[in-house]
């Protein structure tokens, strides 16, 4: 890990740079694949699965038999763990439901807001060396609570054209309607345009590597919404003398093992702690099964010493971490002043792993500094807010003149006429009523 002592704000931008490619580096590849998926459908999906993954797919859709077999392949112990996590995630996301908001803004003018589910959503679940069945929980559960009618899931198969049984079991448990053996750019393209097998969706969710992240962003040019630009995982830990050194090291490594392009950062006011964590990381790293991957991520990671908590807080907000762990005697200071983070973990006994799996919060979070303007996935991510209004005769009389004046000032005569005609109609009706004996 690279050590930096008391960096000045002018150097933060370079110091905190992520080890990721830009959209420009990947865009041409994505556009070429998208174009072929759009025109050739399943054939293009199979072609690129063979090219990138070395897998010859016969069927893209996961069969009912494969789903049934997955239930037998998952141990009862793991099923129990998945169901406990599911209950906590359901509890937290169900609590996010909101009622209709209704207001009479002026007498006779009633406005209200209601939420409706996005009808068709696509879930991207990373596979490969770390099949993230936990991400199925994080995406399919709120999609179901929201009431999404069509929940499509794409995940890359293994070399035998199989999907990890835990992914299939969890997807079926959480109400996914269709599961496809597709990964990478071709999966995002299939959900964007639709193919003979894969239905097009209105919004795509889920993390992925740099190619998937860019593909999702380019999908927005084709009329499909996305949850956020969620790329390689990252973690920033602030720790002071109250922190348990082994805990801090384990948290840093928990994210480093995600992938070679992951990044972890330690910020501290204690040089002694910084050096101790560095040694502990090296010690724990030697014992990890995914040591080779974590080592590559550690090369891109930082140990940063700052002068005080205020300086630390400014740097952390500038970085805008996906995951932020704070272990400090002054934890309230950090809780109150953190502005940019995907999810915050507080204290020695709150590992980031808890949020990844079973505490109840969502682990699909903005990366690469996007926590400055994006939220992590939540129930509202799967819903749209719609506004309604109903205006009575009294209501249009109360606000009609205001509308007429504003429309006329903008030069929009038809807008004005839409009100004027109604007001004249009401006046004629009123005049006739008054003239009757």
Model confidence over 128-161: pLDDT tens digits? 667 889 999 999 999 999 999 999 999 999 999 9
Q: What angle do CA 151, 77, 357 make, to 5 degrees?
A: 50
**Binding-site residue ranges for Zn(2+):** 255, 258, 356, 415
What does the alpha-carbon distance between residue 30 and residue 35 come to, in Å, rounded to a whole number?
9
Residue 356 has pLDDT above 90, yes or no: yes
Side-chain-facing half-sphere of 228: CA atoms under 13 Å? 23
**Binding-site residue ranges:** 124, 186, 209, 233, 255, 258, 323, 356, 410, 415
Sign, Cα dihedral of 158, 159, 165, 166: negative
What does the alpha-carbon distance between residue 83 and residue 279 come to, in Å, rounded to a whole number?
38
Give this prediction's pTM. Answer: 0.92
Q: What is the pLDDT of residues 176-190, one digit of tens each?
A: 999 999 999 999 999
Confidence of residue 218 (pLDDT cuts 50, 70, 90): very high
Q: Which residues of 237-257 are buried (b: 16+ CB within 10 A; e: fewer)?
A: bbbbeebebebbbbbbbbbbb
What does the alpha-carbon distance between residue 179 and residue 365 come to, in Å, rounded to a whole number?
23
Q: CB within 8 A of 248, min separation 6: which ones?
A: 237, 239, 266, 273, 277, 280, 325, 327
Determine the pLDDT at residue 27.
Answer: 92
Closest CA to 330 of 397, 286, 270, 379: 270
Q: What is the pLDDT of residues 328-355, one digit of tens each?
A: 999 999 999 999 999 999 999 999 999 9
Determine the pLDDT at residue 122.
Answer: 98
Closest CA to 126 of 151, 150, 152, 154: 154
What does the alpha-carbon distance between residue 54 and residue 305 come to, in Å, rounded to a whole number?
45
Residue 437 has pLDDT above 70, yes or no: no
What does the alpha-carbon distance between residue 66 and residue 366 come to, in Å, rounded to a whole number?
33
Indicate which residue of 323, 330, 336, 393 is catalytic. 323
Q: What is the CA radius of gyration of the chain?
A: 27
Closest CA to 331 of 349, 316, 309: 309
What does the alpha-carbon distance between residue 87 and residue 217 come to, in Å, rounded to a whole number?
32
Which tokens in the block code for residue 355?
């949020």
Determine the pLDDT at residue 1.
Answer: 85
Count H helices, E strands: the chain?
A: 17, 14
Mean pLDDT of 208-219: 90
Determine the pLDDT at residue 22.
Answer: 66
Indicate which residue of 234, 257, 280, 322 is catalytic. 322
Determine the pLDDT at residue 220.
Answer: 97
Determine the pLDDT at residue 260.
Answer: 86
What does the alpha-carbon distance between residue 231 and residue 368 come to, in Å, rounded to a whole number?
7
Determine the pLDDT at residue 434.
Answer: 73
Determine the pLDDT at residue 336.
Answer: 98
What domains sit in the chain, N to C, each tagged with a CATH number?
Answer: 2-20+232-360 (3.40.50.1980), 23-230+380-385 (3.40.50.1980), 393-435 (no CATH)
Pair 206, 235: CB distance under 8 Å: no
Residue 435 has pLDDT above 80, yes or no: no
Percent of the chain with pLDDT over 70: 98
Determine the pLDDT at residue 127.
Answer: 82
What does the alpha-carbon distance between residue 399 and residue 17 come to, in Å, rounded to a whole number?
53
Which tokens in the block code for residue 49?
């699965």
What does each C-alpha distance from 88 to 141, 155, 167, 336, 354 come to in angstroms?
A: 11, 24, 18, 26, 11
Task: Dump the DSSP string for 110-158.
Answer: EEEEEEEE-SEEEEE---TTS--HHHHHHHHHHHHHHT-SEEEEE----
Q: CB within 8 A of 249, min separation 6: which ones?
A: 277, 280, 281, 283, 284
Closest CA to 208 of 116, 127, 121: 127
Residue 15 has pLDDT above 70, yes or no: yes
Determine the pLDDT at residue 274.
Answer: 98
Determine the pLDDT at residue 23.
Answer: 74
Residue 436 has pLDDT above 70, yes or no: no
**Does 93 participate in catalysis according to the annotation?**
no
Q: What is the pLDDT of residues 35-63, one digit of tens each?
A: 999 999 999 999 999 999 899 999 999 99
What does the alpha-carbon distance between residue 435 and residue 437 come to, in Å, rounded to a whole number?
6
Q: What is the pLDDT of residues 364-376, one digit of tens each?
A: 999 999 999 999 9
Pair 222, 193: CB distance under 8 Å: yes
E strand or H helix at 413, and its extent?
A: helix 413-435
**Does 36 participate in catalysis according to the annotation?**
no
What does each C-alpha distance from 25 to 15, 86, 276 come to in angstroms?
A: 21, 38, 38
Q: Is 193 helix (H, G, I), strand (E, B) or coil?
A: helix
Mean pLDDT of 277-306: 94
What does the alpha-carbon distance between residue 187 and residue 128 come to, in Å, rounded to a whole number?
14
């Amino acid at each position: 890990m690279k050590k930096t002592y008391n960096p000045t704000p002018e150097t933060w931008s370079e110091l905190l740079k992520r080890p990721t490619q830009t959209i420009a580096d990947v865009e041409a590849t994505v556009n070429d694949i998208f174009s072929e998926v759009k025109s050739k459908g399943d054939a293009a999906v199979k072609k690129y699965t063979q090219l990138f993954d070395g897998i010859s797919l016969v069927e893209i859709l996961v069969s009912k038999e494969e789903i049934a077999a997955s239930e037998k392949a998952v141990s009862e112990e793991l099923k129990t763990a998945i169901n406990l996590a599911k209950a906590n995630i359901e509890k937290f996301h169900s609590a996010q439901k909101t009622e209709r908001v209704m207001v009479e803004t002026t007498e006779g003018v009633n406005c209200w807001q209601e939420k409706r589910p996005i009808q068709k959503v696509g879930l991207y679940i990373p596979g490969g060396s770390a099949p993230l069945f936990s991400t199925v929980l994080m995406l399919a559960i709120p999609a179901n609570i929201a009431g999404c009618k069509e929940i499509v899931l794409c995940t890359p198969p293994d070399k035998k054209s199989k999907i990890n049984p835990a992914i299939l079991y969890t997807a079926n448990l959480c109400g996914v309607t269709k599961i496809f053996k597709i990964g990478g750019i071709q999966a995002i393209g299939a959900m964007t345009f639709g193919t003979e097998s894969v239905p097009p969706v209105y919004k795509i969710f889920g993390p992925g590597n740099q190619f998937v992240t860019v593909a999702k962003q380019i999908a927005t040019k084709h009329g499909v919404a996305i949850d956020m630009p969620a790329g390689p995982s990252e973690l920033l830990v602030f720790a002071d003398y109250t922190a348990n050194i082994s805990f801090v090291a384990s948290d840093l490594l928990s994210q480093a093992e995600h992938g070679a392009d992951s990044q972890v950062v330690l910020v501290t006011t204690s040089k002694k702690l910084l050096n101790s964590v560095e040694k502990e990381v090296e010690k724990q790293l030697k014992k990890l099964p995914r040591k080779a991957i974590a080592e590559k991520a550690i090369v891109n990671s930082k140990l940063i010493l700052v002068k005080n908590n205020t300086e630390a807080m400014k740097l952390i907000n500038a970085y805008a971490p996906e995951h932020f762990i704070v272990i400090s005697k002054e934890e309230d200071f950090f809780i109150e002043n953190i502005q940019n983070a995907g999810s915050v973990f507080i204290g020695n006994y709150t590992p980031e792993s808890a949020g990844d799996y079973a505490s109840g919060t969502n682990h699909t979070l903005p990366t690469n500094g996007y926590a400055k303007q994006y939220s992590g996935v939540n129930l509202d991510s799967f819903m749209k807010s719609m506004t309604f209004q109903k205006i009575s005769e009294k209501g249009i009389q109360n606000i009609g003149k205001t509308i007429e004046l504003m429309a006329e000032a903008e030069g929009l005569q038809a807008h004005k006429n839409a009100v004027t005609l109604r007001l004249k109609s009401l006046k004629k009706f009123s005049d006739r009523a008054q003239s009757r004996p």
